[in-house]
Structure 1
Amino acid sequence: MGSLDSVAETVLHRRYLQQDEEGTVIETPDEMFHRVASNLARAEAQFGGDVETTEERFYEAISNLDFLPNSPTLMNAGTELQQLAACFVLPVEDSIESIFTAVKQTALIHQSGGGTGFSFSRLRPEGDIVKKTGGVASGPVSFMKIFDAATEQIKQGGRRRGANMGVLDVIHPDIEKFIAVKSDDDNDDVLRNFNLSVATTAEFWEAYASDDSYEIINPRTGAVVRRADPDAILDQISEAAWEAGDPGMLFLDTINEHNPTPQLGRIEATNPCGEVPELPYEACILGSINLGHHTDGEEVDWEKLRETVHLAVRFLDNAIEMSEFPVPEIEEMVTKTRRLGLGVMGFQDMLVDLRIPYFSEDTVEFADELMTFIHEESWAASRQLADEREPFPAWEDSIREGPMRNATTTTIAPTGSISLIADCSASIEPIYNVAYTKQVMGGLEIINDRFVDIATDRGFYSDELIEDLHGRTTIQDVEEIPDDVKLLFQTAHDVPADHHLRVQAAFQEHVDNAVSKTVNLPQSASVDDVKEIFLSAHDLDLKGITVFRSGAKSEQVLGESPLKEECVGECDYVAPRQE
């Protein structure tokens, strides 16, 4: 097993290692890795595979921190719970029965360690008629507060609070109330367990481009109730995102253009962090490759990366076989599509090894090259598994040309906790800083190992320097650090918004699902700056976008720092806009 630093040990002991009834930790990290590898390798027996050899390979990959699956797999594999997926989408139809069925299913998913997304666009608007009672409907936002309250009472797997994504279509009559719910409400805790996204379609953007109005439609009757100005709506979204970090935006036409199984329905929602657009009752098991472990210190080790991609796809496909899902409808949908989400973490670590500054044209070009390779190899691995096992059942009517085991193979997730375990930079994000305190689990002291190594090799390391850098949001103004080193350790504050978008777009081009990425803006940013990002994200054919301005209203995981991180740090998919 590879060595774990103190941060990894803390995270594992607080969140992942098995406990007895008194809450005492009863397994070591090495035993956890063995538990997970043994459980996932058992799936090989169903297909005539070599269980023992596969277990050894799985154990080596995860214990060396070359690859880690999403949190529920680490927590639950080989236990009584055995629910291994992180990402779920549930349907919410326009009836009390459907709404409260979804609340119940949400509770079961959160209890087992998953996060949930919903489209509330089918619910009749506030003030609409309720024929059965002669009463008046309370609208989507009111019902979202019920989901939020239920989530607040249920810690995921007994260890964490749940996370949700709430989506409302831009044509819904309550869209203005939805947009403003977090920024207008005097209660900072309103929908604290929700991320929000406005779902936009081609009609909205066509109206915007032609300086025309668009139709607002009652979902109960299908009737046009009024027309709205898309520019004014976009202004409202931008103002709310500037104020509170919510809502983000989904581009449903782009999402559905790449929907691998359109015969099964139209995608209307995503998981809590937006990286997995899913049909109702779909689930996805995620995992991420630690890119920093796939260089020789100067160049990419492409052969090792290829091997890890193939092993990771097998690992995640086995996880589908071994997972027990809390709702029968989910089991049915997962069996049909076998959606996987293999992504990466440690992207900036790899850039440091390659001596590429994050804010550079080379990074955009390299992101394209890297994700092309991972995408192609993941599909090759899925095709091989289809040959060994059989394609996913919905394959014949899907958009996939050749037989594949999985409807999707790639995703870019936030990797909040698993990047802490792996001691690497999170996801494809630039680092927060080279030394800081992360305000979760009593405070975690984060120090960038690569910076320490370079500073030591170059002779400018000192304890005083690290102390001076602690908590800074940039090192670009520190005289003791050579200029070429400063460039390699650019932080999220040093990277302009348009470059964040271009990096996201470079990855999205080669990702089946979607990319969870935050565009960080300085406190001085204007509402127009936020609006420009939404417009650029649409122009770049992204599937979704999150904008966070320093000092915005939402609680922030880094304590006094105004920077928003992708993830709350308690898990690798939990809502990025709340603690």
Structure 2
Amino acid sequence: MVLVDAKEATILVEQLNKDIEKFPQVHPITPDMHITHKGVSRLVMIDRYSFKDTEKKTLKTGDFVVLTIKEDPKFPARGLGYIRSIDIETKKAEILIEEEYRHVLENPQEQETGVIVRSLDVIEKPLEVFYEQIAKRNATGLAAVEKTEEDRKKWFNMFYEQLVSLKFVPAGRVLYGAGSQTDVTFFNCYVMPFVPDSREGISDHRKQVMEIMSRGGGVGTNGSTLRPRNTLARGVNGKSSGSVSWLDDIAKLTHLVEQGGSRRGAQMIMLADWHPDIVEFIISKMQNPRILRYLIENTNDELISRQAQEKLKFQPFTAQEEAMYQGIVNYKNFPGLGGFSESIIKEAEQKLRDGGTYSVHNPEFLTGANISVTLTKEFMAAVENDEEYELRFPDVANYTPEEMAIYNEKWHEVGDVREWEQLGYRVRTYRTIRARELWNLINVCATYAAEPGIFFIDNANDMTNARAYGQKVVATNPCGGVRLTLKIAG
């Protein structure tokens, strides 16, 4: 058995080139290649964009690999290393991790030696270790549409010159997909049409999101066409679970779909400021119990207070826990005697005042997506003038069968309650809210949870050239979300 030690840890070019011969998409390493990038850029290039032997047909001792070195459901850590040995029976390998990635390792011995054992399932073998290889593959793929060999060669050279000189660097999905002969998208992000307000429509939307993400694309969804919570669903003689619950179901796809074989998905989910579920939507991702308590204690709006209370989870102390904290507080007048610092005693006093511990219900809710509120000019004017603002939606509970047929056919094409009303269809005002209360809620949650973002949808539609093609802006993709913290007096 051949072992690789720290001094021998280097890419075996001759051996790798022999392996590359089995993959027609991949260009061999030549002496003039030198661009590997450094640090995070190098890891991203190898992990996200390099063509790999995913079936591990050529995996062997001495190979340079990329792998998951820390398995965490939310924040797994990737790193680079070299195969020291492979155990075929257990399907595990011993890997020497490069030094710059060892700090992530939790086992002290692993961190010191850099040697770890991992399942072959989390190990991938990159065949492209120089950027020039990726550039050649991309140039080959982009020139492949030309009809003659002469034109393909001509355009290959033109593309390659631009790519290898870094004068032009394509989007990530192009770097990954072009020339790879795989069924992935060359577009980084997509914006979906409005979601039809029906089980069938939601299912179709969900299917399209899944297909796009599985091929490497990020997705933007505006859920403002979904009826609010507790609204009549006449077809099943029941009530809707609400737009936010359906959007959470769509967001969960991000945790399930691995994008183009190399990364998790990305989603942006939006809801309009006029939607009756907007408060629930904004609070849905708040993970900080202190901020939820702050909202309950400081808002003048009953809906905001109720939604914060629904998100907040309280666990009363047992008699034993209460006695423990009281015992700590009893040492307040005897500093140093009990071995408790002033900060510990203050914390115990606070816990006794609370009477229990606070956490949040459903902490994973909507975590598969970034969320943003689409802001209208009417709402911003109401904020500026400190006015009441109406939360509205088509009056589906009172539509006739004929009106409901029109709703099912046209509402998701319109997607804006203002425009729907202008077309002559009935709209219901679910409630009014002081605009500044809603605005401050957005700011508080954005400050302490980085969610939601904001998207000035009217401004976007005023300025987009999509109008020249009879289209309008529905939402933004994950790359275009505005993550701002704003403040307003009052």
- TM-score, normalised with respect to structure 2: 0.54
1:507-534, CA deviations, whole angstroms, 9 ceiling, x for partnerless residues?
A: xxxxxxxxx6x55xxxxxxxxx73249x
Taking structure 1 as reference, are residues 99 and 58 closer, same or farther at Cα in structure 2, changes over 3 Å only?
same
Distance 1:249 1:150 in 2: 23
Segments of structure 2 that go 5 or more residues without pairing to the other structure are 1-32, 57-123, 287-291, 293-310, 312-359, 397-426
Question: What do the CA deviations read for 1:24-59 (whole angstroms, capped 9, x no partner)?
Answer: 22334322211111211234559x994433322221
SS at match of 1:68: coil
State whether structure 2 residue 165 is matched by structure 1 residue 74.
Answer: no
Q: 1:42·1:51 contact (CA, 8 Å) conserved in 2?
A: yes
Matched, 1:194 2:369: yes
In 1, are the aligned partners of 2:184 and 2:260 still within 8 Å (CA)?
Answer: no
Amino acid paired to 1:25: P
Match of 2:87 in 1: none
In structure 1, give the amino acid aligned to 2:50: L
RMSD: 2.5
Residue 37 (str. 1) matches residue 139 (str. 2): yes
User: How far apart, CA to CA, are the structure 2 residues paired with 1:82 and 1:203?
Assistant: 41
> Could you give the per-residue CA deviations for residues 79-123 of structure 1, whole angstroms, max 9, x where no partner exists?
221420011012311011111111111111111111000000000
Give the aligned partner of residue 24 of structure 1: 125
Counterpart of 1:305 in structure 2 is none
**1:243 aligns to 2:448 (yes or no):** yes
One-letter identity of the residue aligned with 1:27:
E
Number of residue-to-residue matches in the alignment: 283
Change (3 A) 1:120 1:219: farther
Superposition map of 1:368-517 within 5 A? none
Would the alpha carbon gap of residues 56 and 232 (structure 1) be closer, same or farther in structure 2, given more than 3 Å must change? same
User: Matches of residues 109-188 of structure 1 in structure 2 within 5 Å?
Assistant: 109-183=212-286, 185=311, 186=360, 187-188=362-363
Is 1:163–1:194's contact at 8 Å kept on the other side of the alignment? yes
The alpha-carbon distance between structure 1 residues 45 and 205, as it changes in their structure 2 partners (threshold 3 A), is farther
Deviations 1:341-370 (A, max 9, x none): xxxxxxxxxxxxxxxxxxxxxxxxxxxxxx
Question: Relative to structure 1, is the Cα distance of residues 5 and 110 closer, same or farther in structure 2, using a 3 angstrom cutoff?
Answer: same
Distance 1:219 1:116, change over 3 A: farther
Q: Secondary structure at the match of 1:223?
A: strand
Q: CA deviation at 1:203?
A: 1.2
Give the Å deviation of 1:220.
5.2
CA spacing shift, 1:34–1:220, aligned 2, 3 Å: farther
Contact 1:123–1:220 (8 Å) recurs in 2: no
CA–CA separation in structure 1 for the residues paired with 2:267 and 2:243: 15
Provide the C-alpha distance between the structure 1 equivalents of 2:153 and 2:488, rounded to a whole number of angstroms. Answer: 54
Measure the CA separation in 1 of the matches of 2:210 and 2:395.
27
Report whether the alignment pairs 1:86 with 2:291: no
CA distance in 1 between partners of 2:395 and 2:200 (Å): 16
| 3-state SS of paired residue (2:383) | helix
Counterpart AA for 1:235: N
Match of 2:471 among 265, 284, 289: 265
Q: Which AA in structure 1 matches 2:38?
A: S
Displacement after TM superposition at 1:10 (Å): 2.5
The code of the aligned residue for 1:16 comes to: Y
Residue 3 (1) aligns with residue 35 (2): yes
Q: Report SS of the residue matched to 1:166.
A: strand
Q: Bigger relative contact order, structure 1 or 2, given CA contacts below 8 A and separation 6+?
A: 1
Say whether 1:205 aligns with 2:380.
yes
| 1:106 maps to 2:312 | no
Alpha carbons 1:93, 1:122 under 8 Å: kept: yes
1:500 corresponds in structure 2 to none
Unaligned runs of 5+ in 1: 276-515, 520-528, 536-579
Larger-Rg structure: 2
Note if contact 1:77-1:83 (Cα within 8 Å) is conserved in structure 2. no
Measure the CA separation in 2 of the matches of 1:190 and 1:150. 12
**Mapped partners of 1:204, 1:50: distance in 2:** 56
SS at structure 1 position matched to 2:249: helix
Residue 435 of structure 2 corresponds to residue 230 of structure 1: yes
What CA distance in whole angstroms lies between the structure 1 residues aligned with 2:150 and 2:460? 36
Kindly provide the amino acid, as one letter, of the partner of residue 241 in structure 1. Answer: A
Letter aligned with residue 217 of structure 1:
R
Any conservation in 2 of the 1:89–1:116 contact (CA below 8 Å)? yes
Whether 2:45 is the aligned partner of 1:12: answer: yes
Distance 1:255 1:2, change over 3 A: farther
1:202/1:45 Cα in 2 relative to 1: closer, same or farther (>3 Å)?
Answer: farther
Q: State the secondary structure of the residue aligned to 2:176.
A: helix
Q: CA deviation at 1:181?
A: 0.7
1:63 paired to 2:238: no
1:53 to 120, 130, 154: 154
TM-score (norm 1): 0.46
Aligned partner of residue 141 in structure 1, secondary structure: helix
Structure with the largest fraction of strand: 2
| Alignment partners' CA distance in 1, 2:201 and 2:274 | 22
- C-alpha distance in 2, partners of 1:9/1:227? 52
- State the alpha-carbon separation in 2 of the partners of residues 220 and 85 from structure 1: 38
CA distance in 2, matches of 1:55, 1:67: 14
Displacement after TM superposition at 1:257 (Å): 0.9
Identity of aligned residues (%): 33
CA deviation after TM superposition for structure 1 residue 188, in Å: 4.0
How far 1:2 moved relative to its partner? 6.0
C-alpha distance in structure 2 between counterparts of 1:532 and 1:224, whole Å: 26
